[in-house]
């Protein structure tokens, strides 16, 4: 398979980039399950942008920076915030039906979420992600230059010797596509530009709001190929995931708190005022940690979100999915409290990119949750992720357009076919399934919302052993999608653990009981990459104050 662009992932970042690059050349989008199996599709809240007359760019910038706990890249924040309104209007032009409100100066009904000092979240009730995914997929499916391939899982990047003019890094190597497996067969998919848009890694943790696809594939592949990574210790836990034995990952949107819901304990007493003057609309790091503390102190299994004081008809209209889903579990949100717990939600670190979406490997871009752009810092502001994805998809496509006259003529070099070697079929699937559980439990208990150096050290030792075992299976047996994902989550777990051990302070989403305070002299973003000749060990390569 050969194309001009290979896009890995079919969420908002991948589809937006694909549509823009299809104006230049042929695009192949691969996705490992169905096209709609993305984190985008599950996003409820919406997309933050300055749309109202009484809001301002400065205010959105400040809210982002405050949430980011001193680690946001100021230039990137401004770039993203200032591009916001244009990108939202572009989504509307592509067919996204955000809820309107003729009374407001923007013409849209805007929601509010934690950390925002204004209503600025454009939404499609609590189905915003699904609406965006629907509109983008419709365009992509009907585009003659784009092939969208489902059930195609990417195993690793294709790397060759060589450079790309004006794109530094890679130590003499560049990316020319990926090994892709479909139905047990691995093929080479060659491309001039490869874009990792495969989302985050919530499946690293036992409890997550993420879909099953979130196994950090793009992050792991980039790391193995030698890309620089940033801030992998900053994993965002969403404070309110529905707590119910039959529910795996159902989010109760922060927009519910934006519309007045209050967190209470089993005793019905609100508790957020003890933790933050912004109470229930504090940023997510604060709220998730407060819930964690309440649960540990009271020994209860969950806390509750109470919105019963709002008009039932309004709630049914504003949150149709949440209302129906809770009702199907016997909880009527108009008259009953919603049981909730925090769950892993978003990876704020990622593959380091510049303002054009370029990683440190020539030919390889990263967008959306897979990327670290500098926007989120130590804690992402609610509803800034869909925004970041569309803004950087646009920046990356503009870069491609600028170099297309030179790149278009270049031939993609031949690469070695996938070698199956002596690998045989694995007869004991339990070897895989056991480790899925072991990894996710270990990460939840030892590397969760509140960390300690002791637990991190133990986690590292155990995870390294698990990784080595999986890596051996990977070599001995014919690979399966399950094995590919397991190898990736064990690697990403190790990156989170090692990065967490390096940051000896508490800041944003990273809370270490051994160092409970921010280190004022250490406003550093940390970059790392694979240590030479090692499989998972990291080497810190640069620390910057922005």
Q: Per CB under 6 A, which of residues 179..238 are in contact with ligand SIN?
A: none
For Cα atoms 367, 372, 375, give the angle at the middle one, nearest 5 degrees.
100
Q: Per CB under 6 A, which of residues 466..495 are in contact with ligand SIN?
A: none
State how beta strands 2-8 and 350-352 pair.
Answer: unpaired
Closest residue (Cβ) to ligand SIN? 45
Residue 208 to residues 199, 245, 284, Cα–Cα distance (Å): 14, 14, 15
Q: From the candidates 130, 190, 284, 358, give the one annotated as an active-site residue.
A: 284
Least distance (Å) from ligand SIN to the CB of residue 287? 11
Question: With CB under 6 A as the contact rule, which of the stretches 38-46, 359-367, 420-428, 494-502 interacts with ligand SIN?
Answer: 38-46
Beta strands in 162-256 (DSSP E): 173-182, 185-196, 229-230, 235-242
Question: With CB under 6 A as the contact rule, which of the stretches 151-159, 247-255, 489-497, 498-506 interacts with ligand SIN?
Answer: 247-255
Q: Under a CB-based contact definition with an 8 Å cutoff, are residues 258 and 111 in contact? A: yes
Q: Is the CB of 43 or the CB of 282 nearer to ligand SIN?
A: 43
The burial of 477, by beta-carbon neighbours within 10 Å (0-12 exposed, 13-18 middle, 19 or more buried), is given as middle
Listed residue (383, 244, 245) closest to 304, CA to CA: 244
User: Binding to ligand SIN by residue 254, rule CB under 6 A?
Assistant: yes
For residue 197, the tally of other CB atoms under 10 A from its CB is 33
Listed residue (300, 333, 254, 205) closest to 43, CA to CA: 254
Least distance (Å) from ligand SIN to the CB of residue 493? 22
Least distance (Å) from ligand SIN to the CB of residue 369? 10
Question: With CB under 6 A as the contact rule, which of the stretches 43-51, 221-229, 360-368, 431-439 interacts with ligand SIN?
Answer: 43-51
Q: Is the CB of 157 or the CB of 235 nearer to ligand SIN?
A: 235
Round to whole Å and give the CA distance between 49 and 93: 16
Q: Is the CB of 325 or the CB of 455 nearer to ligand SIN?
A: 325
Question: With CB under 6 A as the contact rule, which of the stretches 246-254, 273-281, 388-396, 406-414 interacts with ligand SIN?
Answer: 246-254
Please provide the distance, in angstroms rounded to a whole number, between the alpha carbons at the two ends of the chain.
42
284 is catalytic: yes
User: Binding to ligand SIN by residue 255, rule CB under 6 A?
Assistant: yes
Residues 6+ apart with CB under 8 A from 79: 355, 391, 395
Question: With CB under 6 A as the contact rule, which of the stretches 91-99, 177-185, 250-258, 407-415 interacts with ligand SIN?
Answer: 250-258
Tell me the number of residues near ligand SIN by CB under 6 A. 10
User: Binding to ligand SIN by residue 42, rule CB under 6 A?
Assistant: no
Least distance (Å) from ligand SIN to the CB of residue 255? 5
Question: With CB under 6 A as the contact rule, which of the stretches 163-171, 191-199, 252-260, 488-496 interacts with ligand SIN?
Answer: 252-260
Residue 111 host element (H or E) = strand 110-111
The 3-state DSSP class for residue 355 equals: coil
Q: Is the CB of 151 or the CB of 259 nearer to ligand SIN?
A: 259
Least distance (Å) from ligand SIN to the CB of residue 44? 4
User: Binding to ligand SIN by residue 383, rule CB under 6 A?
Assistant: yes
Two structure tokens written together for 422:
């002596």
Round to whole Å and give the CA distance between 349 and 156: 20
Least distance (Å) from ligand SIN to the CB of residue 122? 12
Q: Is the CB of 123 or the CB of 460 nearer to ligand SIN?
A: 123
Least distance (Å) from ligand SIN to the CB of residue 181? 30
Round to whole Å and give the CA distance between 375 and 74: 8
User: Binding to ligand SIN by residue 385, rule CB under 6 A?
Assistant: yes
Selected from 40, 109, 253, 435, the binder of ligand SIN by CB under 6 A is 253
The 3-state DSSP class for residue 18 equals: helix
Listed residue (326, 305, 383, 316) closest to 111, CA to CA: 383
Per-residue interface string for the shown chain with ligand SIN, residues 363-382, x marking contact by CB under 6 A: -------------------x
Beta strands in 330-390 (DSSP E): 338-347, 350-352, 364-366, 371-372
Round to whole Å and give the CA distance between 336 and 242: 13
The burial of 59, by beta-carbon neighbours within 10 Å (0-12 exposed, 13-18 middle, 19 or more buried), is given as middle
Least distance (Å) from ligand SIN to the CB of residue 214? 13
Site residues (CB under 6 A) for ligand SIN?
Answer: 43-45, 251, 253-255, 382-383, 385
Residues recognised as catalytic: 284
């Amino acid at each position: 398979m050969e194309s001009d662009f290979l896009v890995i992932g079919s969420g908002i970042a991948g589809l937006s980039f694909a549509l823009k690059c299809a104006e230049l050349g042929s695009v192949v989008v691969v996705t490992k399950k169905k096209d709609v199996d993305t984190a985008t599709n599950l996003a409820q809240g919406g997309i933050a942008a300055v749309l109202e007359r009484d809001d301002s760019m400065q205010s959105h910038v400040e809210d982002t920076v405050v949430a980011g706990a001193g680690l946001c890249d100021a230039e990137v924040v401004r770039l993203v915030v200032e591009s916001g309104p244009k990108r939202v209007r572009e989504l509307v032009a592509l067919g996204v039906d955000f809820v309107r409100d003729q009374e407001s100066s923007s013409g849209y009904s805007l929601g509010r979420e934690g950390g925002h000092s204004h209503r600025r979240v454009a939404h499609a009730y609590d189905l915003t992600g699904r609406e965006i995914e629907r509109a983008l997929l419709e365009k992509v499916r009907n585009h003659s230059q784009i092939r969208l391939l489902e059930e195609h899982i990417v195993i690793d990047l294709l790397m060759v010797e060589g450079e790309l003019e004006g794109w530094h890094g890679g130590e003499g190597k560049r990316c020319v596509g990926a090994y892709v497996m479909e139905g047990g067969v691995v093929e080479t998919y060659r491309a001039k530009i490869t874009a990792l848009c495969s989302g985050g890694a919530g499946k690293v943790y036992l409890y997550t709001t993420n879909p099953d696809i979130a196994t950090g594939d793009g992050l792991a592949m980039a790391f193995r190929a030698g890309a620089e990574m940033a801030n992998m210790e900053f994993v965002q836990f969403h404070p309110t995931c529905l707590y119910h034995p039959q529910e795996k990952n159902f989010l109760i949107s922060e927009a519910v708190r934006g519309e007045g819901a209050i967190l209470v304990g089993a005793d019905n007493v609100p508790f957020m005022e003890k933790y933050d003057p912004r109470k229930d609309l504090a940023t997510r790091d604060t709220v998730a940690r407060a819930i964690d503390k309440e649960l540990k102190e009271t020994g209860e299994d969950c806390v509750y979100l109470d919105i019963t004081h709002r008009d039932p008809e309004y709630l049914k209209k504003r949150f149709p999915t949440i209302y129906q889903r809770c009702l199907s579990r016997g909880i009527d949100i108009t008259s009953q409290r919603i049981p909730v717990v925090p769950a892993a939600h978003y990876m704020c670190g990622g593959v380091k990119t510049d303002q054009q979406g370029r990683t440190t490997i020539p030919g390889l871009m990263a967008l959306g949750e897979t990327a670290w752009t500098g926007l989120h810092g130590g804690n992402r502001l609610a509803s800034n992720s869909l925004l970041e994805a569309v803004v950087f998809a646009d920046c990356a496509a503009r870069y491609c357009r600028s170099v297309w006259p030179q790149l278009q003529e270049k031939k993609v070099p031949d690469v070695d076919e996938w070698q199956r070697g002596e690998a045989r079929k694995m007869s004991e699937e339990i070897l895989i399934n056991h480790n899925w559980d072991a990894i996710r439990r270990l990460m939840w208990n030892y590397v969760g919302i509140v960390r300690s150096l002791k637990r991190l050290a133990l986690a590292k030792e155990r995870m390294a052993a698990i990784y080595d075992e999986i890596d051996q299976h990977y070599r001995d047996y014919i690979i399966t999608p399950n094995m590919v994902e397991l190898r990736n989550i064990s690697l990403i777990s190790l990156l989170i653990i090692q990065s967490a051990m390096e940051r000896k302070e508490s800041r944003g989403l990273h809370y270490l009981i051994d160092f409970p305070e921010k280190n004022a002299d250490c406003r550093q973003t940390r970059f790392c990459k694979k240590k030479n000749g090692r499989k998972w060990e990291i080497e810190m390569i640069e620390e910057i104050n922005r």
